[in-house]
């Protein structure tokens, strides 16, 4: 195997790394209403660590949020996040997530299929600039990283108010 | 001669019956302040399936200036376990270890009676009936009900015979209690208010007077002045008050005129709160003691406390 072949292989491996190393719901930031003392934050942190796919939980008292970071190669189970906050004795607020997946069109709705998962999100409140761009992604089948605020988490088709999109690969 | 001696011993024992108020107050003050206030309970939540352990050290002295020159000292270590049954229900168990010592002048000289051991165990259940959460603040109302069970020895004796009921480690009776606590907490401060009633029942021909208390606590975050990111430790300055009223004790069905009354405490304190641990201390100083008859007056109650999330 010559140096050129080896180089090609290494480049291919490098390109593949993000695909295998990036979890699908990679991060979730939940607002925890009512959390106002350090001693109470412990219960929130402990309960959120039981959410499937979660590797780390970082609580921020000042902003009243908890950030869940996914385990390598795993997806955070967003349906469990609100339940975990309630089990800690508090009220879940806004849930912002970062997710990897592909966009598809269904009866004029844009849906986001979360990669390696059965989870599908409906993209809502799309700006006039963002919608054509997402339609391009539909045609090209590009895998991208999306972030936004989630609502109707417990329904079959949760809603994602999209804030940012970043292409990962064609 | 024999009759005179018996009368002296009887008088001594009767004197031992008198320090009723401080003893009972101390017992009741061992309620599981598991989160915010130092001297009473709170409505803040315990996460479902999680627990809190609390160990306190309470030290009380009470005395009088009468001819008996009674001096009562009580050291107490209530061990408190709290468990979050659901997001709304929390269960508490309180087992106190007590050392009680009474010194008194008698016709045959100054005498001391002392007893040590575990006291009565109290079980409590608390339910959050109202909860309003907003970013950085919460308001809750939680009634609670409990039962003090007679696990403490109530037949302790010393060389002078059976100790008077008020010096016993346990009451021997099953005593229910009811109350409600409300908490408003923000990132800067917290206010807790509680009212409770304890129905004392009879045992050993003795019945402690029922107990009513009204508690108020204000906690103010004094450090850090500005909140940073993450979960910083908080240092709170604490000011609490406890208004406690107790009815007359009953001996053989008759009211003891030297028992019961009302006391108002003011309790400044300090509290260091981290994510897993709380260290705190307060001194309850009696501002007003309107006690019946010749009941002993409290000098102060010192509380040192430690709590741990697990």
Q: Kindly report, residue by residue over B233-263, the tens digit of the pLDDT.
A: 999 999 999 999 999 999 999 999 989 999 9
When scoring B34, B45, B47, B236 by the number of chain A Cβ atoms within 10 A, the one with the most, hence best to mutate, is B47
Which of A35, A38, A89 faces B273 most closely, judged by CB atoms? Answer: A38
> For A2-151, where are the alpha helices, taking DSSP H only?
3-21, 38-48, 79-87, 130-140
Does residue B115 have a pLDDT over 90?
yes
On whether the CB atoms of residues B93 and B80 are closer than 8 A, the answer is yes
Give the torsion through C-alpha atoms of A10, A16, A18, A24, to 10 deg: -160
Which of B32-36, B123-127, B159-163 is predicted least confidently? B32-36
CATH number at residue A48: 3.30.70.100
* Residue A47 confidence (pLDDT): 97
* Strand bridging mode B137-149 / B175-186: antiparallel
The number of beta carbons lying within 10 Å of the beta carbon of residue A132 is 11
Binned at pLDDT 50, 70 and 90, residue A153 comes out as: confident
Question: For residue B60, is pLDDT > 70?
Answer: yes
| Per-residue model confidence (pLDDT) at position B15 | 45
**Given the DSSP bridges, would you call strands A143-151 and A91-106 parallel, antiparallel or unpaired?**
antiparallel
Averaged over B169-189, what is the pLDDT?
Answer: 97
**What pLDDT sits at residue A22?**
43
Percent of chain A with pLDDT over 90: 71
The verdict on A126 and A161 lying in the same domain is: yes
Higher-pLDDT residue of A33 and A116 is A33
Q: What is the distance in angstroms between the Cα of A62 and the nearest Cα belonging to chain B?
A: 6
Task: List all residues 6 or more positions away from A18 whose beta carbon is below 8 Å from its beta carbon.
Answer: A168, A169
Residue B36: its chain A contacts at CB < 8 A?
Answer: 37
Looking at the structure, do residues A90 and A26 belong to the same domain, yes or no?
yes
What pLDDT sits at residue A30?
A: 98
CA distance A166 to A147: 9
Lowest-pLDDT choice from A84-98, B1-15, B273-287: B1-15
Q: Identify the pLDDT of residue A12.
A: 46
Q: Specify if A163 maps to a domain.
A: yes
Which pLDDT band, with edges at 50, 70 and 90, does A92 fall under?
A: very high
- Which residue does chain A place closest to B48, by CA atoms? A87
In a domain, A130, yes or no: yes
Number of domains in chain A: 2
**A39/B307 Cβ within 8 A:** yes
A154 in the same domain as A136 = yes
Residue A60 sits in the same domain as residue A86: yes
User: How close A68 gets to chain B, by Cα (Å)?
Assistant: 13
Question: So what's the pLDDT on residue A169?
Answer: 62
Q: Which residues of B touch A29 (CB under 8 A)?
A: none
Q: What is the pLDDT of residue A3?
A: 63
Q: Are B248 and B257 in contact (CB under 8 A)?
A: yes
Q: What is the pLDDT of residues B159-171, one digit of tens each?
A: 888 998 889 999 9
Sort out which chain A residues have CB atoms less than 8 A from B136's CB and list them: 35-36, 64
d(CA B110, CA B103): 7
Contact A87 B49 (CB under 8 A): yes
Phi, psi (deg, nearest 5) at residue A49: -70, -15
Helix residue ranges, H only, B19-71: 20-28
Structure tokens at B196: 């409770």
Which residue range is the domain that position A58 belongs to?
A: 22-95
Residues in A closer than 8 angstroms to B87, CB to CB, are 86-89
Q: Which of A95, A112, A139 marks a domain boundary?
A: A95
Query: Looking at A38, A63, A95, which one is the last position of a domain?
Result: A95
The pair of structure tokens assigned to A25 is: 């719901």
Angle at A150 between CA A123 and CA A86, to 5 degrees: 160
* CATH code of the domain containing A137: 2.40.50
Is it the case that residue B194 has pLDDT exceeding 70? yes
Higher pLDDT among residues B215 and A152, named by residue = B215
Q: What average pLDDT does the structure give for chain B?
A: 89
Query: Of A23 and A74, which is predicted with more confidence?
Result: A74
Give me the pLDDT at residue B151, please.
97
d(CA B84, CA B88): 8
Q: Is residue A136 situated within a structural domain?
A: yes
CB contact under 8 A, B309 and A42: yes
pLDDT at A68 over 70: yes
pLDDT in tens, B73-88: 999 999 999 999 999 9
CB B158, CB B113: distance < 8 Å:
yes
Name which residue leads in pLDDT, A117 or B288.
B288
The verdict on A78 and A130 lying in the same domain is no
CATH 2.40.160.40 describes domain B2-309: yes
Residue of B nearest to A67 (CA): B230
Measured between beta carbons, which residues in chain A are less than 8 angstroms from residue B134?
Answer: 33-34
User: Rg of chain B's alpha carbons, rounded to an integer?
Assistant: 20
Q: Chain B interface, mutation test: which of A89, A91, A95, most B Cβ atoms within 10 Å?
A: A89
Question: Between B48, B138, B274, which is nearest A36 by CB?
Answer: B138
Question: pLDDT class for B18, splitting at 50, 70, 90?
Answer: very low
Pick the range with the lowest mean pLDDT from A146-155, B170-179, B247-256: A146-155
Cβ contacts of residue A52 below 8 Å, gap of 6+?
A74, A76, A77, A80
Question: Residue A142 falls within a domain, yes or no?
Answer: yes
Model pLDDT, residue A46: 96
Is residue B74 reached through a cis peptide bond, with omega within 30 degrees of 0 on the bond before it? no
Confidence class for position A74, pLDDT limits 50, 70, 90: confident
Yes or no: say if B289 and B298 are a contact pair by the CB < 8 Å rule.
Answer: yes
pLDDT of residue B67: 83
């Amino acid at each position: 195997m010559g140096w050129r072949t080896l180089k090609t292989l290494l480049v291919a491996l490098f390109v593949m790394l993000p695909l295998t190393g990036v979890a699908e719901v990679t991060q979730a930031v939940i607002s925890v209403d009512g959390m106002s003392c350090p001693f109470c934050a412990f219960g929130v942190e402990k309960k959120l660590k039981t959410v499937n796919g979660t590797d780390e939980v970082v609580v921020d008292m000042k902003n009243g949020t908890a950030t869940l970071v996914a385990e390598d190669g795993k997806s955070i189970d967003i349906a469990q996040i609100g339940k975990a906050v309630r089990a800690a004795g508090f009220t879940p607020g806004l849930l912002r997530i970062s997710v990897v997946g592909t966009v598809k069109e269904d009866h004029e709705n844009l849906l986001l299929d979360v990669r390696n998962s059965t989870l599908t999100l409906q993209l809502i409140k799309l700006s006039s600039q963002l919608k054509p761009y997402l339609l391009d992604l539909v045609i090209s089948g590009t895998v991208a990283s999306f972030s936004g605020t989630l609502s109707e988490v417990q329904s079959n088709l949760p809603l994602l108010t999209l804030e940012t999109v970043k292409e990962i690969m064609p | 001669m024999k009759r005179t001696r018996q009368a002296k011993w009887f008088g001594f024992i009767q004197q031992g019956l008198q320090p009723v108020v401080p003893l009972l107050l101390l017992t009741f003050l061992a309620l599981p302040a598991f989160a915010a206030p130092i001297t009473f309970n709170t409505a803040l939540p315990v996460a479902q399936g999680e627990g809190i352990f609390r160990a306190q050290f309470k030290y009380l002295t009470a005395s009088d200036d009468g001819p008996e020159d009674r001096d009562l000292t009580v050291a107490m270590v209530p061990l408190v376990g709290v468990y979050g049954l659901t997001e709304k229900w929390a269960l508490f168990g309180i087992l106190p270890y007590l050392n009680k010592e009474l010194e008194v002048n008698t016709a045959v000289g100054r005498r001391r009676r002392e007893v040590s051991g575990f006291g009565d165990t109290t079980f409590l259940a608390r339910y959050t009936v109202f909860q309003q959460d907003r970013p950085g603040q919460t308001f809750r109302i939680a009634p609670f009900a409990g039962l003090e069970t007679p696990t403490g020895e109530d037949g302790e004796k010393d060389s002078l015979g059976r100790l008077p009921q008020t010096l016993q480690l346990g009451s021997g009776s099953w005593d229910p209690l009811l109350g409600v606590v409300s908490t408003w907490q923000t990132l800067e401060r917290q206010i807790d208010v509680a009212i409770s009633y304890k129905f004392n029942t009879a045992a050993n021909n003795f019945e402690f007077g029922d107990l009513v208390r009204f508690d108020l606590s204000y906690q103010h975050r004094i450090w850090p002045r500005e909140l940073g990111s993450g979960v910083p430790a908080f240092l709170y300055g604490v000011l609490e008050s406890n208004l406690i009223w107790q009815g007359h004790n009953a001996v053989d069905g008759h009211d003891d005129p030297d028992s019961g009354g009302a006391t108002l405490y003011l309790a400044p304190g300090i509290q260091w709160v981290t994510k897993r641990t709380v260290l705190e201390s307060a001194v309850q100083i009696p501002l007003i003691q309107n006690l019946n008859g010749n009941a002993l007056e409290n000098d102060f109650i010192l509380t040192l406390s430690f709590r741990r999330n697990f």
